Chains A and B, each alone.
Chain A
Amino acid sequence: MNSADERLLVVKAQGGDREAIGQLWDLLTPKLYGYLLNTLRHRPLAEDILQSTWLKAIEALPKFQQKHIRVGSWLFAIARNECRQHWRKSNREVGLNASLNELPSNTYIDSENQILVEQMLAPLSEDDRELIRLRYIADLPLNEIAKILNLNFVAVRVRLHRALTRAKSSLN
Protein backbone atom coordinates (compact mmCIF):
# COMPACT_ATOMS: atom_id res chain seq x y z
CA MET A 1 0.00 0.00 0.00
CA ASN A 2 1.44 3.31 -1.03
CA SER A 3 1.37 6.56 0.88
CA ALA A 4 -1.62 7.99 -0.98
CA ASP A 5 -3.73 4.91 -0.23
CA GLU A 6 -2.73 5.11 3.40
CA ARG A 7 -3.75 8.77 3.54
CA LEU A 8 -7.08 7.95 1.96
CA LEU A 9 -7.66 5.24 4.55
CA VAL A 10 -6.89 7.67 7.34
CA VAL A 11 -9.33 10.22 5.93
CA LYS A 12 -12.01 7.54 5.75
CA ALA A 13 -11.20 6.39 9.27
CA GLN A 14 -11.44 9.94 10.52
CA GLY A 15 -14.90 10.05 8.98
CA GLY A 16 -15.91 7.01 11.04
CA ASP A 17 -15.40 4.30 8.42
CA ARG A 18 -14.82 1.11 10.44
CA GLU A 19 -13.74 -0.82 7.41
CA ALA A 20 -10.95 1.69 6.84
CA ILE A 21 -9.90 1.29 10.45
CA GLY A 22 -9.86 -2.46 9.96
CA GLN A 23 -7.61 -2.08 6.93
CA LEU A 24 -5.28 0.16 8.91
CA TRP A 25 -5.21 -2.49 11.64
CA ASP A 26 -4.25 -5.17 9.16
CA LEU A 27 -1.62 -2.92 7.65
CA LEU A 28 0.06 -1.69 10.81
CA THR A 29 -0.53 -4.28 13.54
CA PRO A 30 2.19 -6.81 12.47
CA LYS A 31 4.89 -4.11 12.66
CA LEU A 32 3.47 -2.61 15.83
CA TYR A 33 3.08 -5.95 17.57
CA GLY A 34 6.53 -7.09 16.45
CA TYR A 35 7.97 -3.87 17.83
CA LEU A 36 6.12 -4.22 21.15
CA LEU A 37 7.04 -7.83 21.50
CA ASN A 38 10.69 -7.08 20.92
CA THR A 39 10.58 -4.15 23.31
CA LEU A 40 8.58 -5.71 26.14
CA ARG A 41 9.62 -9.37 25.75
CA HIS A 42 6.24 -10.33 27.11
CA ARG A 43 3.46 -11.49 24.87
CA PRO A 44 0.38 -10.68 27.05
CA LEU A 45 1.81 -7.28 27.93
CA ALA A 46 2.53 -6.59 24.27
CA GLU A 47 -1.05 -7.48 23.40
CA ASP A 48 -2.39 -5.20 26.15
CA ILE A 49 -0.32 -2.27 25.00
CA LEU A 50 -1.20 -3.00 21.38
CA GLN A 51 -4.85 -2.76 22.32
CA SER A 52 -4.48 0.38 24.42
CA THR A 53 -2.42 1.98 21.63
CA TRP A 54 -5.14 1.35 19.08
CA LEU A 55 -7.87 2.54 21.42
CA LYS A 56 -6.09 5.80 22.10
CA ALA A 57 -5.27 6.23 18.43
CA ILE A 58 -8.85 5.70 17.34
CA GLU A 59 -10.10 8.03 20.01
CA ALA A 60 -7.69 10.76 18.89
CA LEU A 61 -7.92 9.99 15.19
CA PRO A 62 -10.21 12.91 14.32
CA LYS A 63 -7.59 15.34 15.63
CA PHE A 64 -4.78 13.63 13.77
CA GLN A 65 -3.18 15.81 11.03
CA GLN A 66 -1.50 13.83 8.27
CA LYS A 67 0.54 16.77 6.99
CA HIS A 68 2.89 16.50 9.95
CA ILE A 69 3.45 12.75 10.30
CA ARG A 70 2.33 9.47 8.83
CA VAL A 71 -0.27 7.49 10.72
CA GLY A 72 2.14 4.55 11.19
CA SER A 73 4.72 6.74 12.86
CA TRP A 74 2.03 8.29 15.01
CA LEU A 75 0.94 4.84 16.18
CA PHE A 76 4.53 3.92 17.08
CA ALA A 77 4.88 7.17 19.04
CA ILE A 78 1.72 6.31 20.97
CA ALA A 79 2.96 2.75 21.57
CA ARG A 80 6.29 4.09 22.82
CA ASN A 81 4.48 6.38 25.18
CA GLU A 82 2.30 3.53 26.40
CA CYS A 83 5.40 1.44 27.12
CA ARG A 84 6.93 4.31 29.09
CA GLN A 85 3.75 4.74 31.11
CA HIS A 86 3.72 1.04 31.83
CA TRP A 87 7.35 1.10 32.98
CA ARG A 88 6.72 4.18 35.07
CA LYS A 89 3.89 2.37 36.83
CA SER A 90 6.24 -0.58 37.31
CA ASN A 91 8.94 1.80 38.67
CA ARG A 92 11.21 1.09 35.74
CA GLU A 93 12.22 3.53 33.00
CA VAL A 94 13.65 1.18 30.35
CA GLY A 95 12.50 -2.14 29.01
CA LEU A 96 13.41 -5.55 30.31
CA ASN A 97 16.79 -6.71 29.18
CA ALA A 98 15.52 -10.21 28.75
CA SER A 99 17.09 -12.50 26.24
CA LEU A 100 15.32 -13.18 23.02
CA ASN A 101 15.48 -16.84 23.95
CA GLU A 102 12.97 -16.18 26.71
CA LEU A 103 10.34 -15.61 24.06
CA PRO A 104 8.42 -18.61 22.76
CA SER A 105 10.31 -20.61 20.19
CA ASN A 106 7.88 -19.80 17.40
CA THR A 107 8.56 -16.03 17.65
CA TYR A 108 11.46 -16.14 15.24
CA ILE A 109 11.55 -18.29 12.19
CA ASP A 110 15.13 -17.83 11.25
CA SER A 111 16.92 -19.00 14.39
CA GLU A 112 20.42 -18.57 12.95
CA ASN A 113 19.68 -14.99 12.02
CA GLN A 114 18.08 -14.50 15.43
CA ILE A 115 21.20 -15.62 17.25
CA LEU A 116 23.32 -13.35 15.09
CA VAL A 117 21.13 -10.33 15.80
CA GLU A 118 21.05 -11.30 19.50
CA GLN A 119 24.83 -11.11 19.56
CA MET A 120 24.86 -7.82 17.72
CA LEU A 121 22.27 -6.07 19.86
CA ALA A 122 23.41 -7.37 23.23
CA PRO A 123 26.22 -4.85 23.81
CA LEU A 124 24.19 -1.92 22.51
CA SER A 125 22.44 0.61 24.73
CA GLU A 126 18.65 0.65 25.00
CA ASP A 127 18.57 3.86 22.92
CA ASP A 128 20.50 2.18 20.11
CA ARG A 129 18.27 -0.90 20.26
CA GLU A 130 15.19 1.36 20.12
CA LEU A 131 16.61 3.05 17.05
CA ILE A 132 17.23 -0.30 15.36
CA ARG A 133 13.75 -1.58 16.26
CA LEU A 134 12.11 1.51 14.77
CA ARG A 135 14.25 1.30 11.67
CA TYR A 136 14.10 -2.43 10.91
CA ILE A 137 10.98 -3.82 12.62
CA ALA A 138 8.74 -0.76 12.27
CA ASP A 139 10.35 -0.07 8.88
CA LEU A 140 10.15 3.66 9.41
CA PRO A 141 12.18 6.17 7.37
CA LEU A 142 14.79 8.18 9.25
CA ASN A 143 12.83 11.43 9.16
CA GLU A 144 9.82 9.73 10.77
CA ILE A 145 12.07 8.16 13.40
CA ALA A 146 13.47 11.63 14.07
CA LYS A 147 9.97 12.93 14.74
CA ILE A 148 9.16 10.03 17.08
CA LEU A 149 12.40 10.42 19.04
CA ASN A 150 12.20 14.22 18.89
CA LEU A 151 15.62 14.48 17.28
CA ASN A 152 16.77 16.03 14.04
CA PHE A 153 17.30 13.96 10.94
CA VAL A 154 21.09 14.20 10.92
CA ALA A 155 21.34 13.14 14.56
CA VAL A 156 19.24 10.06 13.89
CA ARG A 157 21.31 9.13 10.84
CA VAL A 158 24.56 9.55 12.76
CA ARG A 159 23.31 7.62 15.78
CA LEU A 160 22.05 4.77 13.62
CA HIS A 161 25.33 4.61 11.75
CA ARG A 162 27.25 4.49 15.02
CA ALA A 163 24.92 1.84 16.42
CA LEU A 164 25.49 -0.33 13.35
CA THR A 165 29.24 0.22 13.63
CA ARG A 166 29.16 -0.83 17.27
CA ALA A 167 27.02 -3.85 16.36
CA LYS A 168 29.52 -4.85 13.70
CA SER A 169 32.46 -4.44 16.06
CA SER A 170 30.68 -6.56 18.70
CA LEU A 171 30.58 -9.43 16.21
CA ASN A 172 34.28 -9.08 15.43
Chain B
Amino acid sequence: MNNQHDIEDVLTSWGKNSRQEPVNNQILKSEILSKEFATAKKIAPTRAWPLWFSLSLTGVAVILFFVNLFPTVNFSSPKLWAPSESSPTAGVSAPQNSIIAPDYYPRDVTPVSDNREFLKKDYNATLRSRDVSELVDRIQITVRGFNGRVDGSSGSVKNGYVSFVIPASSLETFRAQIKTLVPGKFYAEQIYTQNLLPQKQSIEQSRTEAEKTLAQLQASRQQLITAHSSAVNSLQQRLNAVAKEQTALQSEVTFDPARQAQINARLDQLAKQKISLQSQLVSENNSYSQKLGSWDSQISYTQTNLENIQKQDQSLVDNVATVQGYIAINWISLWEAADLYMSGPLVAWLFLAAALAVYLWQRRTPEILLP
Protein backbone atom coordinates (compact mmCIF):
# COMPACT_ATOMS: atom_id res chain seq x y z
CA MET B 1 0.00 0.00 0.00
CA ASN B 2 2.04 2.79 -1.29
CA ASN B 3 -0.27 5.69 -1.94
CA GLN B 4 -3.24 7.55 -0.64
CA HIS B 5 -5.46 6.21 -3.38
CA ASP B 6 -4.98 2.61 -2.21
CA ILE B 7 -5.86 3.57 1.36
CA GLU B 8 -9.02 5.25 0.12
CA ASP B 9 -9.94 2.11 -1.82
CA VAL B 10 -9.45 -0.02 1.27
CA LEU B 11 -11.49 2.35 3.41
CA THR B 12 -14.23 2.59 0.79
CA SER B 13 -14.47 -1.17 0.69
CA TRP B 14 -14.41 -1.29 4.49
CA GLY B 15 -17.18 1.32 4.64
CA LYS B 16 -19.39 -0.63 2.26
CA ASN B 17 -18.89 -3.83 4.23
CA SER B 18 -19.66 -2.02 7.48
CA ARG B 19 -23.12 -1.00 6.26
CA GLN B 20 -25.69 -3.49 7.40
CA GLU B 21 -29.21 -3.76 8.61
CA PRO B 22 -29.94 -4.71 12.18
CA VAL B 23 -30.86 -8.30 12.74
CA ASN B 24 -34.36 -7.32 13.79
CA ASN B 25 -34.66 -4.67 11.09
CA GLN B 26 -38.28 -5.33 10.20
CA ILE B 27 -39.37 -5.27 13.82
CA LEU B 28 -37.61 -1.99 14.47
CA LYS B 29 -39.00 -0.53 11.26
CA SER B 30 -42.56 -1.54 12.06
CA GLU B 31 -42.21 -0.08 15.54
CA ILE B 32 -41.07 3.20 14.15
CA LEU B 33 -43.78 3.35 11.54
CA SER B 34 -46.47 2.54 14.03
CA LYS B 35 -45.76 5.69 16.03
CA GLU B 36 -48.00 8.73 15.70
CA PHE B 37 -46.17 11.70 14.31
CA ALA B 38 -46.82 15.25 13.34
CA THR B 39 -47.17 16.40 9.74
CA ALA B 40 -45.84 19.44 8.02
CA LYS B 41 -49.29 20.98 7.85
CA LYS B 42 -49.23 21.60 11.59
CA ILE B 43 -46.06 23.66 11.39
CA ALA B 44 -46.31 27.37 10.82
CA PRO B 45 -44.30 28.63 7.87
CA THR B 46 -41.09 30.41 8.74
CA ARG B 47 -41.08 34.15 8.42
CA ALA B 48 -39.07 35.68 5.61
CA TRP B 49 -38.64 39.09 7.27
CA PRO B 50 -34.83 39.28 6.74
CA LEU B 51 -35.29 39.35 2.97
CA TRP B 52 -37.79 42.19 3.17
CA PHE B 53 -35.59 43.98 5.65
CA SER B 54 -32.63 43.61 3.32
CA LEU B 55 -34.66 44.90 0.38
CA SER B 56 -35.89 47.86 2.43
CA LEU B 57 -32.36 48.83 3.43
CA THR B 58 -31.22 48.56 -0.18
CA GLY B 59 -34.13 50.74 -1.24
CA VAL B 60 -33.24 53.41 1.30
CA ALA B 61 -29.61 53.32 0.15
CA VAL B 62 -30.64 53.74 -3.50
CA ILE B 63 -32.94 56.64 -2.60
CA LEU B 64 -30.09 58.32 -0.71
CA PHE B 65 -27.80 57.90 -3.70
CA PHE B 66 -30.38 59.50 -5.99
CA VAL B 67 -31.10 62.30 -3.57
CA ASN B 68 -27.38 63.02 -3.34
CA LEU B 69 -27.20 63.42 -7.11
CA PHE B 70 -29.13 66.66 -6.78
CA PRO B 71 -27.41 69.50 -4.96
CA THR B 72 -30.52 70.66 -3.12
CA VAL B 73 -30.07 68.09 -0.37
CA ASN B 74 -26.60 66.98 0.63
CA PHE B 75 -26.22 64.27 3.23
CA SER B 76 -22.46 64.36 3.06
CA SER B 77 -20.44 66.09 5.72
CA PRO B 78 -19.03 69.59 5.03
CA LYS B 79 -16.23 69.62 2.52
CA LEU B 80 -12.64 70.43 3.29
CA TRP B 81 -12.78 74.03 2.09
CA ALA B 82 -16.15 75.11 3.40
CA PRO B 83 -15.83 78.79 4.38
CA SER B 84 -16.20 79.41 8.06
CA GLU B 85 -18.62 81.89 9.56
CA SER B 86 -15.79 84.12 10.65
CA SER B 87 -14.23 84.19 7.22
CA PRO B 88 -14.15 87.72 5.75
CA THR B 89 -15.55 86.40 2.49
CA ALA B 90 -18.31 84.36 4.10
CA GLY B 91 -21.68 85.34 2.75
CA VAL B 92 -20.25 87.56 0.05
CA SER B 93 -20.77 86.41 -3.47
CA ALA B 94 -17.91 86.57 -5.94
CA PRO B 95 -19.14 89.51 -8.07
CA GLN B 96 -19.83 91.64 -4.98
CA ASN B 97 -16.42 90.76 -3.65
CA SER B 98 -14.72 91.81 -6.81
CA ILE B 99 -16.56 95.14 -6.78
CA ILE B 100 -15.63 95.84 -3.19
CA ALA B 101 -12.01 94.92 -3.60
CA PRO B 102 -9.84 97.96 -4.41
CA ASP B 103 -7.76 97.81 -7.52
CA TYR B 104 -4.77 100.08 -7.19
CA TYR B 105 -2.98 98.74 -10.20
CA PRO B 106 -5.35 98.12 -13.08
CA ARG B 107 -4.21 95.25 -15.23
CA ASP B 108 -4.66 97.06 -18.55
CA VAL B 109 -1.86 99.57 -17.89
CA THR B 110 0.84 96.89 -18.03
CA PRO B 111 2.49 97.01 -21.45
CA VAL B 112 2.69 93.70 -23.25
CA SER B 113 6.29 94.35 -24.29
CA ASP B 114 7.46 94.03 -20.69
CA ASN B 115 7.81 90.29 -20.17
CA ARG B 116 9.34 90.38 -16.71
CA GLU B 117 7.55 88.36 -14.03
CA PHE B 118 7.00 89.74 -10.58
CA LEU B 119 4.58 87.27 -9.03
CA LYS B 120 3.85 87.35 -5.35
CA LYS B 121 2.59 83.96 -4.10
CA ASP B 122 0.59 83.22 -0.98
CA TYR B 123 0.30 79.57 0.01
CA ASN B 124 -2.66 78.40 2.09
CA ALA B 125 -3.34 74.80 2.97
CA THR B 126 -5.72 72.86 5.14
CA LEU B 127 -4.71 69.50 6.55
CA ARG B 128 -6.95 67.04 8.35
CA SER B 129 -5.43 64.80 10.95
CA ARG B 130 -6.29 62.69 13.98
CA ASP B 131 -3.26 64.13 15.82
CA VAL B 132 -3.26 67.90 15.35
CA SER B 133 -0.48 68.81 17.80
CA GLU B 134 2.02 66.39 16.31
CA LEU B 135 1.27 67.67 12.82
CA VAL B 136 1.80 71.29 13.92
CA ASP B 137 5.25 70.34 15.23
CA ARG B 138 6.15 68.51 12.06
CA ILE B 139 5.09 71.45 9.89
CA GLN B 140 7.24 73.83 11.92
CA ILE B 141 10.22 71.52 11.51
CA THR B 142 9.56 71.35 7.78
CA VAL B 143 9.36 75.16 7.48
CA ARG B 144 12.67 75.60 9.27
CA GLY B 145 14.19 72.87 7.16
CA PHE B 146 13.45 74.98 4.09
CA ASN B 147 15.22 78.04 5.57
CA GLY B 148 11.85 79.51 6.36
CA ARG B 149 10.65 81.52 9.30
CA VAL B 150 7.73 80.57 11.50
CA ASP B 151 5.71 83.69 12.24
CA GLY B 152 3.09 82.08 14.42
CA SER B 153 1.65 78.76 15.41
CA SER B 154 -0.99 77.24 17.59
CA GLY B 155 -1.97 73.67 18.35
CA SER B 156 -4.81 72.12 20.28
CA VAL B 157 -6.69 68.86 20.17
CA LYS B 158 -9.13 70.00 17.52
CA ASN B 159 -7.44 72.85 15.63
CA GLY B 160 -4.08 74.32 14.90
CA TYR B 161 -2.26 76.58 12.48
CA VAL B 162 1.22 77.56 11.38
CA SER B 163 1.92 80.85 9.61
CA PHE B 164 5.33 81.17 8.03
CA VAL B 165 7.51 82.64 5.32
CA ILE B 166 9.69 80.58 3.02
CA PRO B 167 11.88 81.45 0.03
CA ALA B 168 9.88 81.47 -3.19
CA SER B 169 12.40 79.16 -4.82
CA SER B 170 11.57 76.44 -2.26
CA LEU B 171 7.80 76.57 -2.67
CA GLU B 172 7.36 73.55 -4.95
CA THR B 173 9.59 71.28 -2.85
CA PHE B 174 7.95 72.55 0.30
CA ARG B 175 4.48 71.77 -1.06
CA ALA B 176 5.57 68.25 -2.00
CA GLN B 177 6.95 67.76 1.49
CA ILE B 178 3.76 68.99 3.17
CA LYS B 179 1.67 66.67 0.99
CA THR B 180 3.54 63.68 2.36
CA LEU B 181 2.45 64.50 5.91
CA VAL B 182 -1.15 63.40 5.39
CA PRO B 183 -3.02 61.21 2.90
CA GLY B 184 -4.05 62.97 -0.29
CA LYS B 185 -7.71 63.13 0.66
CA PHE B 186 -6.82 64.99 3.85
CA TYR B 187 -4.93 67.76 2.06
CA ALA B 188 -6.27 70.86 0.33
CA GLU B 189 -4.35 73.89 -0.79
CA GLN B 190 -4.86 77.27 -2.36
CA ILE B 191 -2.09 79.33 -3.93
CA TYR B 192 -2.86 82.97 -4.57
CA THR B 193 -0.67 84.64 -7.16
CA GLN B 194 -0.58 88.42 -7.41
CA ASN B 195 1.11 90.17 -10.31
CA LEU B 196 3.35 92.90 -8.91
CA LEU B 197 4.74 94.02 -12.29
CA PRO B 198 2.54 97.14 -12.37
CA GLN B 199 3.87 98.06 -8.95
CA LYS B 200 7.39 97.44 -10.11
CA GLN B 201 6.83 99.58 -13.19
CA SER B 202 5.28 102.31 -11.10
CA ILE B 203 8.24 102.30 -8.75
CA GLU B 204 10.67 102.38 -11.64
CA GLN B 205 8.80 105.29 -13.17
CA SER B 206 8.84 107.19 -9.88
CA ARG B 207 12.52 106.48 -9.51
CA THR B 208 13.31 107.75 -12.98
CA GLU B 209 11.32 110.92 -12.36
CA ALA B 210 12.95 111.45 -8.99
CA GLU B 211 16.43 111.00 -10.46
CA LYS B 212 15.57 113.37 -13.27
CA THR B 213 14.28 115.96 -10.80
CA LEU B 214 17.35 115.57 -8.65
CA ALA B 215 19.62 116.10 -11.64
CA GLN B 216 17.67 119.19 -12.63
CA LEU B 217 17.84 120.57 -9.12
CA GLN B 218 21.55 119.93 -8.88
CA ALA B 219 22.09 121.59 -12.27
CA SER B 220 20.05 124.58 -11.18
CA ARG B 221 22.01 124.76 -7.97
CA GLN B 222 25.26 124.68 -9.88
CA GLN B 223 23.93 127.30 -12.24
CA LEU B 224 23.02 129.48 -9.24
CA ILE B 225 26.51 129.10 -7.79
CA THR B 226 28.11 129.98 -11.10
CA ALA B 227 25.86 133.03 -11.62
CA HIS B 228 26.50 134.15 -8.06
CA SER B 229 30.28 133.87 -8.46
CA SER B 230 30.12 135.79 -11.68
CA ALA B 231 28.01 138.54 -10.14
CA VAL B 232 30.16 138.78 -7.03
CA ASN B 233 33.33 138.95 -9.15
CA SER B 234 31.86 141.68 -11.29
CA LEU B 235 30.82 143.72 -8.25
CA GLN B 236 34.17 143.12 -6.57
CA GLN B 237 36.04 144.29 -9.65
CA ARG B 238 33.92 147.40 -9.75
CA LEU B 239 34.52 148.01 -6.05
CA ASN B 240 38.22 147.54 -6.58
CA ALA B 241 38.16 150.03 -9.44
CA VAL B 242 36.32 152.54 -7.25
CA ALA B 243 38.77 152.03 -4.42
CA LYS B 244 41.71 152.40 -6.76
CA GLU B 245 40.30 155.61 -8.21
CA GLN B 246 39.55 156.94 -4.70
CA THR B 247 43.12 156.20 -3.64
CA ALA B 248 44.47 157.85 -6.71
CA LEU B 249 42.33 160.98 -6.24
CA GLN B 250 43.12 161.20 -2.55
CA SER B 251 46.80 160.95 -3.21
CA GLU B 252 46.71 163.65 -5.88
CA VAL B 253 48.17 167.05 -4.57
CA THR B 254 46.86 170.09 -6.29
CA PHE B 255 46.54 173.73 -5.45
CA ASP B 256 44.13 174.39 -8.21
CA PRO B 257 40.77 175.08 -6.57
CA ALA B 258 38.88 173.95 -9.67
CA ARG B 259 40.77 170.66 -9.76
CA GLN B 260 40.32 170.27 -6.05
CA ALA B 261 36.59 170.81 -6.50
CA GLN B 262 36.54 168.22 -9.31
CA ILE B 263 38.39 165.75 -7.10
CA ASN B 264 36.02 166.30 -4.23
CA ALA B 265 32.98 165.92 -6.47
CA ARG B 266 34.44 162.77 -7.95
CA LEU B 267 35.21 161.35 -4.51
CA ASP B 268 31.61 162.02 -3.49
CA GLN B 269 30.44 160.18 -6.59
CA LEU B 270 32.80 157.28 -5.92
CA ALA B 271 31.71 157.05 -2.30
CA LYS B 272 28.08 156.84 -3.37
CA GLN B 273 29.03 154.34 -6.08
CA LYS B 274 30.96 152.29 -3.54
CA ILE B 275 28.00 152.24 -1.16
CA SER B 276 25.75 151.20 -4.01
CA LEU B 277 28.09 148.42 -5.09
CA GLN B 278 28.52 147.20 -1.54
CA SER B 279 24.74 147.23 -1.17
CA GLN B 280 24.39 145.21 -4.41
CA LEU B 281 27.02 142.77 -3.14
CA VAL B 282 25.16 142.28 0.13
CA SER B 283 21.91 141.91 -1.74
CA GLU B 284 23.48 139.41 -4.11
CA ASN B 285 24.88 137.37 -1.23
CA ASN B 286 21.55 137.36 0.56
CA SER B 287 19.68 136.37 -2.56
CA TYR B 288 22.25 133.69 -3.24
CA SER B 289 21.95 132.29 0.26
CA GLN B 290 18.17 132.14 0.03
CA LYS B 291 18.15 130.54 -3.40
CA LEU B 292 20.92 128.10 -2.46
CA GLY B 293 19.03 127.11 0.65
CA SER B 294 15.90 126.58 -1.39
CA TRP B 295 17.70 124.42 -3.94
CA ASP B 296 19.45 122.45 -1.23
CA SER B 297 16.14 121.86 0.48
CA GLN B 298 14.56 120.63 -2.73
CA ILE B 299 17.56 118.45 -3.47
CA SER B 300 17.46 116.99 0.00
CA TYR B 301 13.74 116.27 -0.33
CA THR B 302 14.23 114.67 -3.71
CA GLN B 303 17.10 112.56 -2.43
CA THR B 304 14.96 111.37 0.47
CA ASN B 305 12.18 110.60 -1.95
CA LEU B 306 14.60 108.66 -4.12
CA GLU B 307 15.84 106.68 -1.16
CA ASN B 308 12.25 105.80 -0.25
CA ILE B 309 11.60 104.67 -3.78
CA GLN B 310 14.71 102.51 -3.67
CA LYS B 311 13.50 101.00 -0.39
CA GLN B 312 10.12 100.31 -1.95
CA ASP B 313 11.84 98.66 -4.87
CA GLN B 314 13.95 96.48 -2.60
CA SER B 315 10.91 95.64 -0.51
CA LEU B 316 9.00 94.57 -3.61
CA VAL B 317 11.88 92.40 -4.79
CA ASP B 318 12.13 90.84 -1.34
CA ASN B 319 8.37 90.35 -1.30
CA VAL B 320 8.46 88.52 -4.60
CA ALA B 321 11.35 86.41 -3.41
CA THR B 322 9.36 85.04 -0.46
CA VAL B 323 6.11 83.16 -0.02
CA GLN B 324 3.75 83.95 2.79
CA GLY B 325 2.16 80.73 4.01
CA TYR B 326 -0.61 79.66 6.31
CA ILE B 327 -1.43 76.05 7.08
CA ALA B 328 -4.54 75.22 9.07
CA ILE B 329 -4.79 71.82 10.72
CA ASN B 330 -8.19 70.46 11.66
CA TRP B 331 -9.01 67.32 13.55
CA ILE B 332 -10.96 64.78 11.52
CA SER B 333 -13.43 62.27 12.85
CA LEU B 334 -13.56 58.71 11.60
CA TRP B 335 -16.93 59.45 10.05
CA GLU B 336 -15.52 62.38 8.06
CA ALA B 337 -12.49 60.30 7.07
CA ALA B 338 -14.74 57.56 5.75
CA ASP B 339 -16.90 60.14 3.99
CA LEU B 340 -13.85 61.56 2.20
CA TYR B 341 -13.04 58.16 0.76
CA MET B 342 -16.59 57.30 -0.27
CA SER B 343 -17.81 58.50 -3.63
CA GLY B 344 -21.40 58.89 -2.50
CA PRO B 345 -23.10 59.70 0.78
CA LEU B 346 -21.71 57.63 3.61
CA VAL B 347 -25.16 56.99 5.03
CA ALA B 348 -26.14 55.27 1.80
CA TRP B 349 -23.06 53.07 1.96
CA LEU B 350 -23.90 52.14 5.54
CA PHE B 351 -27.41 51.20 4.52
CA LEU B 352 -25.99 49.10 1.68
CA ALA B 353 -23.58 47.39 4.06
CA ALA B 354 -26.44 46.69 6.47
CA ALA B 355 -28.54 45.30 3.62
CA LEU B 356 -25.65 43.05 2.57
CA ALA B 357 -25.12 41.91 6.14
CA VAL B 358 -28.79 41.06 6.54
CA TYR B 359 -28.77 39.24 3.21
CA LEU B 360 -25.67 37.22 4.12
CA TRP B 361 -27.12 36.47 7.55
CA GLN B 362 -30.22 35.16 5.88
CA ARG B 363 -28.20 33.11 3.39
CA ARG B 364 -25.77 31.79 5.98
CA THR B 365 -25.55 28.08 6.49
CA PRO B 366 -27.40 27.51 9.71
CA GLU B 367 -26.28 25.04 12.29
CA ILE B 368 -28.13 21.78 12.07
CA LEU B 369 -31.21 21.97 14.24
CA LEU B 370 -31.29 18.79 16.21
CA PRO B 371 -34.50 17.56 17.76
Contact = CB atoms under 8 A, between A and B. Distances in A.
B39 interface: yes
A142 interface: no
B370 A116 contact: no
B38 interface: yes
B79 interface: no
A21 B36 CA distance: 12
B17 interface: yes
B92 interface: no
A69 B368 contact: yes
Interface stretch (B25-33, B278-286, B297-305, B345-353): B25-33
Interface string B328-371: 00000000000000000000000000000000000001111111
A136 B25 contact: no
A136 B11 CA distance: 6
Interface in A63-112: 63, 65, 68-69, 73-74, 77-78, 81, 107-110
Given A34-B19, A171-B1, A62 B365 contact: no
A40 interface: no
B368 A113 contact: no
A37 B18 contact: yes
Given A51-B32, A78-B371, 4 more contacts: A33-B21, A34-B19, A136-B12, A147-B368
Contact of A18 (B33, B38, B366): B33
A145 B100 CA distance: 80
Secondary structure class of chain A's binding surface, majority of residues: helix
A120 interface: yes
Interface residues of B, number: 40
Given A47-B24, A132-B11, A147-B365, A164 B37 contact: no
Contacts, number: 136
Interface stretch (B40-48, B60-68, B201-209, B232-240): B40-48
Contact of B29 (A25, A31, A107, A161): A25
B14 interface: yes
B43 A63 contact: yes
A169 to B, nearest CB: 10
Contact of A108 (B10, B17, B23, B39): B17
Nearest first, the 8 A-B pairs at minimum CB distance are A136-B15, A60-B371, A14-B40, A16-B39, A34-B19, A34-B18, A30-B19, A62-B40
A65 B366 CA distance: 11
Nearest to B30: A22
B86 interface: no
Contact of B22 (A47, A65, A108, A114): A47
B17 A109 contact: yes
B35 interface: yes
A131 to B, nearest CB: 11
Interface in A100-145: 107-110, 113-114, 116-117, 120, 132, 135-139
B13 interface: yes
Interface string A10-53: 00001110100110011001110111011000010011001100
Given A113-B13, A165-B4, A137 B366 contact: no
B7 interface: yes
10 contacts: A15-B40, A16-B37, A21-B33, A30-B21, A50-B22, A56-B370, A59-B371, A61-B40, A136-B12, A136-B18
A113 B17 contact: yes
